[in-house]
Amino acid sequence: MHQEADHRVPVLIVGGSLVGLSTSLFLGRLGVPHLLVERHSDTSVHPRGRGNNVRTMELYRVAGIEPDIKQAAALLAGNHGILQTPTLVGDAGEWLFKHIDPGGGLARFSPTGWCLCSQNDLEPVLLKGARALGGDVRFSHELESFEQDADGVTAVVLDRTRDERFTVRADYLVAADGPRSPVRRRLGIGHSGPGDLFANVSVTFRSKLLADVVGDRRFICCYLTDPEADGALLPIDNEEHWVFHAPWHPERGETLEEFTDDRLQRHIRRAVGVPDLDVEITGKASWRAAERVADRYGDGRVFLAGDSAHEMSPTGAFGSNTGIQDAHNLAWKLAAVLAGWAGPGLLATYETERRPVAVATSARASARSVEHSHPGFAPAPGIGEGKRGGILGVVLGYRYSDGAVVGADPGRDVVPDDLRLTGEPGTRAPHLWVRRSGTRISTLDLYERVPVLLSDAGSAADWHAAARRVAQATGVPLESYRIGAELTCDDQGAAGPEAERPDWARAHGIGTDGAVLVRPDGFVAWRSPGAVPDPEGTLREVLTAVLRRD
């Protein structure tokens, strides 16, 4: 059948929302040709999924689109925190948190920060970036069926505009087709977890007077707690465009048809506390919050990413960010296998790394919803009662104890209570400001397309020369940088190269004769605390293990 396919591509992506478009962007950056099909006619028009966490923004920074995202998010750049109050009239209520990064401490860990950019504003940026890199992105196209064999996947795609079908032969298929994923169902993959948590009707509306009621309270979200009209209010432009999430109780027999414009107008007015508030309903969309994770992240040459692999409570925006980070993890592995410098076994580490992160993160998301008393959420016993550590541990501190790493500590929690980015294998590599050819960059900017080895220019062990020999002999595109040579630490307090070298080594948990191997996704694959008798042989062995070059 695949011999007669109309199109041939290395990767077929199903789903063109945040995760699918991010997959396209990341694959494009890595030079992997691909086709993306999305059944809807265009990107999202409904403002949702606005919280892009610092790890996601690091990925978009390296992918070159951070400035475009910040421009798209400019209207809400001054909004911070979550307010909880029985009414917006007066000064009642309390801030659950007022600033995401009080004191600016995040700068120690990352070259970027959180960004409040709604899905309807972010998706066009991703689409433009993906297409600029050669991504073949087709809206109004729907996957109808697929079959896989030992060599690839053959799919039938419907062009909904022309009502025509064509076949696609791909080496791999990535399903980013949402929580009711037809691909996951076709593969027969179940899921685990508490299941449905609560449901909301998301309403966009226009109100010119609401800005005066809100005043100078520039929140990300406001939980309004009137027992008869609770809900969540979110600004779109801080002036006259707003979103309101009204609790919906289908478990009580409540239907979507009951959410008429008149009912929603009355609900919003009471929730805000202004009986005659001008409210013009401009759109409605229902959604359900759930906590569940797919039992497997794929089958054969088909992989699940984003909501098709996991669903999470919306508090903290963990779900979309986890999905985007799924895409990044999978993209570099697909690129490495397709280019031939990694073995096919590397793709199995996608599940072993990402699934435990989703399980731990979804539990934290539910706990945060309980902690914040999210409107409409009445948790069953046992839900959300797990750990509630700091948000940075969830966002930046998650670790891979099993996968494409050597020397990771299997006893560590997947999501720690605190943030420790000290160069341990399986953790995101530390951020340091350095200069390369006179340009100031973050060490994180070095990691995208190929593995990178960091060592010290003054090291007695010549890791740099060993890395070049290994790359030439194996075909692995290993890049090597020496601190004090190709890179210099950009530390104003240091007194020259001799003073700066111990800082980078200490930050990575090694001595100055050691070395650190960092994967294309910025995670530490392995480190050597000091010199070894045979650096070339050691690097060969490590790369074979990490990249599954058996």
What does the alpha-carbon distance between residue 3 and residue 163 come to, in Å, rounded to a whole number? 23
Domain termination residue (choose one: 348, 379, 395): 395
Residues 161 and 49 in one domain: yes
Q: Which two tokens stand for residue 492?
A: 């104003």
Is pLDDT at 371 greater than 70 in this prediction? Answer: no
Q: Position 166: which residue type? A: F
Q: Are 221 and 319 in contact (CB under 8 A)?
A: no
Residue identified by tokens 């048809």 is: 257
Range 521-534 average pLDDT: 97
Residues 350 and 455 in one domain: no
Residues 299 and 345 in one domain: yes
Residue 108 lies in a domain: no
Is pLDDT at 73 greater than 50 in this prediction? Answer: yes
What does the alpha-carbon distance between residue 29 and residue 448 come to, in Å, rounded to a whole number? 9
Q: What is the per-residue pLDDT for 105?
A: 85
* Structure confidence by residue, pLDDT tens digits, 186-216: 999 999 999 988 899 999 999 999 999 999 9
What does the alpha-carbon distance between residue 88 and residue 101 come to, in Å, rounded to a whole number? 25
Residue 257 lies in a domain: no
Model confidence at 386, pLDDT cuts 50, 70, 90, reads: low
Strand partners, 545: none
Model confidence at 499, pLDDT cuts 50, 70, 90, reads: very low
The region that residue 285 occupies, defined by phi over 0 for left and psi between -120 and 50 for alpha, beta otherwise, is beta
Handedness of CA 261, 263, 266, 269 (dihedral sign): negative
Residues 120 and 10 in one domain: yes
State the residue range of the domain holding 355.
2-77+114-191+291-395
DSSP class of 487 = B
Q: Are 158 and 2 in contact (CB under 8 A)?
A: no
Q: What is the per-residue pLDDT for 388?
A: 57
Residue 502 lies in a domain: yes
Residue 374 lies in a domain: yes
Q: What is the per-residue pLDDT for 3?
A: 57
Q: What is the per-residue pLDDT for 287?
A: 87
Model confidence at 389, pLDDT cuts 50, 70, 90, reads: low
What does the alpha-carbon distance between residue 176 and residue 118 come to, in Å, rounded to a whole number? 19
Residue 220 lies in a domain: no
Residues 324 and 449 in one domain: no
Q: What is the per-residue pLDDT for 314?
A: 83
Share of the chain above pLDDT 90, in %: 79
Domain termination residue (choose one: 395, 410, 442): 395
* Structure confidence by residue, pLDDT tens digits, 337-349: 999 999 999 999 9
Model confidence at 417, pLDDT cuts 50, 70, 90, reads: confident
Range 88-97 average pLDDT: 88
Model confidence at 437, pLDDT cuts 50, 70, 90, reads: very high
Domain termination residue (choose one: 333, 368, 395): 395
Q: What is the per-residue pLDDT for 47?
A: 78
The CATH number of whichever domain residue 462 belongs to comes to: 3.40.30.120
Cα–Cα distance list, 398 to 41, 323, 352, 419, 538 (Å): 36, 14, 13, 9, 27
* Structure confidence by residue, pLDDT tens digits, 37-63: 999 999 988 777 778 999 999 999 999
Output the furthest CA–CA distance in the chain (Å, rounded). Answer: 79
The region that residue 273 occupies, defined by phi over 0 for left and psi between -120 and 50 for alpha, beta otherwise, is left
The CATH number of whichever domain residue 53 belongs to comes to: 3.50.50.60
Residues 450 and 521 in one domain: yes
Q: What is the per-residue pLDDT for 428?
A: 98
What does the alpha-carbon distance between residue 479 and residue 447 come to, in Å, rounded to a whole number? 10
Range 487-504 average pLDDT: 60
Share of the chain above pLDDT 70, in %: 94
Residues 28 and 169 in one domain: yes
Residue 338 lies in a domain: yes
Residues 387 and 499 in one domain: no
Q: What is the per-residue pLDDT for 500?
A: 43
Range 230-254 average pLDDT: 94
Model confidence at 495, pLDDT cuts 50, 70, 90, reads: very low
Residue 317 lies in a domain: yes
What does the alpha-carbon distance between residue 267 and residue 273 come to, in Å, rounded to a whole number? 10
Mean pLDDT, the chain, rounded, equals 92
Residues 447 and 338 in one domain: no
Residues 64 and 176 in one domain: yes
Is pLDDT at 444 greater than 60 in this prediction? Answer: yes
483 membership: H or E segment, kind and range:
strand 479-483
Q: For the chain, how many structural domains are there in total? A: 2
Model confidence at 387, pLDDT cuts 50, 70, 90, reads: low
Q: Are 25 and 129 in contact (CB under 8 A)?
A: yes
* Structure confidence by residue, pLDDT tens digits, 307-356: 999 999 887 789 999 999 999 999 999 999 999 999 999 999 999 999 99
Q: Are 435 and 505 in contact (CB under 8 A)?
A: no
Residues 441 and 327 in one domain: no
Residue identified by tokens 């007015």 is: 269
Is pLDDT at 523 greater than 80 in this prediction? Answer: yes
- The residues, any chain, with a CB within 8 Å of residue 110's CB and separated by 6 or more, are 54, 58, 396, 431, 442, 444
Residue 505 lies in a domain: yes
Is pLDDT at 431 greater than 60 in this prediction? Answer: yes
Q: Are 65 and 126 in contact (CB under 8 A)?
A: yes
Residues 459 and 385 in one domain: no
* Structure confidence by residue, pLDDT tens digits, 454-486: 999 988 779 999 999 999 999 999 999 999 999
- The residues, any chain, with a CB within 8 Å of residue 372's CB and separated by 6 or more, are 82, 84, 96, 223, 315
Q: Which two tokens stand for residue 177?
A: 């087709």
